[in-house]
Structure 1
């Protein structure tokens, strides 16, 4: 029955429906975020939002994306669980669910099979519509078999609300109601959309350096917002790198954190793009043709 349900979900991948009942938690999160304004937005609230956002954005980008989706570095089994747990405090479902969807996205980037291509489905669907669709509900196990062999990750994926719930309770216990609403609900709402702009805006606006075969673009501003994910054209051109900012001026906070982790022995074998890959830009191709 479970297999049949997953197959049904896969069959509906491109069905642009909204499951309003199933989307109630997502909607409630936004309403709760707005309720934060019942508490004063003072210096304490600012730092709660800022720090809570960026700590978890690093967990999303370095964990969900660069580790579970692309395996761009190695770590221990214990650290692997910790990374998944921290990423899931973002309330963006399970690590295996997230990575499976992302691998599917790369396979079909900006085609009609892409779950969240703005080129194919429009900005609104790429930003939030797809996550509210029935097709986004199941974990597509065929895309994530390498990590599905770890029972603790499967458990965490199934009970994906455990990490954000623990995080929310901790914010309330330490910082009170202001901590819960500013530090959890409001920052989580920002984190949702900070993550989702990579699905939408980096396939709409920015600079194209490489022929990636899709609409991916680089954006300095979005790299700041997403801890380095804004160098999206780099990433789509060559996916298996722990760094997405390939040049010194391309700020990539998540990679800096991973580099620190490698010095501490927490992660290792961080992959970087070969020199010949970095050099093969559209401009260099044009010069070769002209010559």
Structure 2
């Protein structure tokens, strides 16, 4: 009995140590050597920082609020949402336009600050989703339930790993591999920078009413949690609520409200019908802020070769709702 108890304690200690390594180094997850074991179960130890980030939002009652903090939170939401939708999704996952290596890295860095893991992980999971959308092999289909599709899949053992077989075109960039492996480095740096900036404002511009703890809570925790939940509504809601212009093999829908919240990602049925375009709002009234931003970057010669929606697809879109 004592031997079994000691073995159990050792096993729990090993799991805790593995979780700690996983918080810092995603290679520890990939090298765990037990792929396939309980892959669909939530790894609560590994998920503790994610849970803690949500709990930290409650600190708004302690730090108060200022217009400065709200503007910082809004700006970081917008910048990081564009990095996710324009680059993590439309560039890294679907290669719908071209960018230089420095530009690619700059937006990968900004995307990494979103706390949605690294660009390789994101692209690999999204490519998997398109191959298996709304089947048993799709980790975040709403057919498995709302909470599973919204957040549960993100916290599973299988969800933490990166399937490198799907991202051979991206693995050749060591800077992207570094961002993917040490995916907490950029968020921690952003949090520290916000705290320092807030303390600097408190000292040299006290009339703004901001300080370090306030910018940390609003600019990092609140903004990041809002950004995460807005992003994953495309998994949990855009396959449930909205209109189906195209009869795709999945349950994707077009939803104006989600499109506004996610800078154009809510035109999800359009996207699943033709994922090879940098534009997801196929009709003039389908607001696609990410597309407008990419067009502006192309005008400034920062990105180029934006892939349009083919004329035949646009013709079918005009004939639909």
Q: Scaled by the length of structure 2, what TM-score is found?
A: 0.83
Displacement after TM superposition at 1:278 (Å): 2.0
Displacement after TM superposition at 1:37 (Å): 2.7
Distance 2:170 2:281 in 1: 26
Q: Does residue 253 of structure 1 match 2:276?
A: no
Q: Residue 198 of structure 1 contacts residue 230 of structure 1 at CA under 8 Å; is this kept in 2?
A: yes
Q: Residue 99 of structure 1 contacts residue 144 of structure 1 at CA under 8 Å; is this kept in 2?
A: yes
- Going from structure 1 to structure 2, the CA distance change for 1:50 and 1:81 (only over 3 Å counts) comes to same
Aligned ranges 1:1-291 → 2 under 5 Å: 5=31, 8-9=34-35, 11=36, 15-119=39-143, 121-175=144-198, 176-281=212-317
Q: Scaled by the length of structure 1, what TM-score is found?
A: 0.91
Q: Residue 209 of structure 1 contacts residue 282 of structure 1 at CA under 8 Å; is this kept in 2?
A: no
Q: Which moved more, 1:164-173 or 1:134-143?
A: 164-173
Displacement after TM superposition at 1:39 (Å): 2.1
Question: Between Structure 1 and Structure 2, how many residues are aligned?
Answer: 282
Displacement after TM superposition at 1:38 (Å): 1.6
Secondary structure in 2 matching 1:188: helix
Gaps of 5+ in 1: 285-291
Displacement after TM superposition at 1:283 (Å): 5.7
Distance 1:210 1:252 in 2: 18
- Going from structure 1 to structure 2, the CA distance change for 1:4 and 1:136 (only over 3 Å counts) comes to closer
Secondary structure in 2 matching 1:149: coil
Displacement after TM superposition at 1:44 (Å): 2.4
Secondary structure in 2 matching 1:202: coil
Displacement after TM superposition at 1:272 (Å): 1.1
Deviation track 1:154-187 (CA, whole Å, cap 9, x = no partner) reads 1111111111112111211212211110011110
- Going from structure 1 to structure 2, the CA distance change for 1:281 and 1:267 (only over 3 Å counts) comes to closer
Q: Residue 6 of structure 1 contacts residue 139 of structure 1 at CA under 8 Å; is this kept in 2?
A: no
Q: Which moved more, 1:166-175 or 1:190-199?
A: 166-175
Secondary structure in 1 matching 2:238: helix
Distance 1:223 1:3 in 2: 34
- Going from structure 1 to structure 2, the CA distance change for 1:7 and 1:269 (only over 3 Å counts) comes to farther
Distance 1:28 1:46 in 2: 21
Displacement after TM superposition at 1:4 (Å): 8.2
Structure number with greater Rg is 2
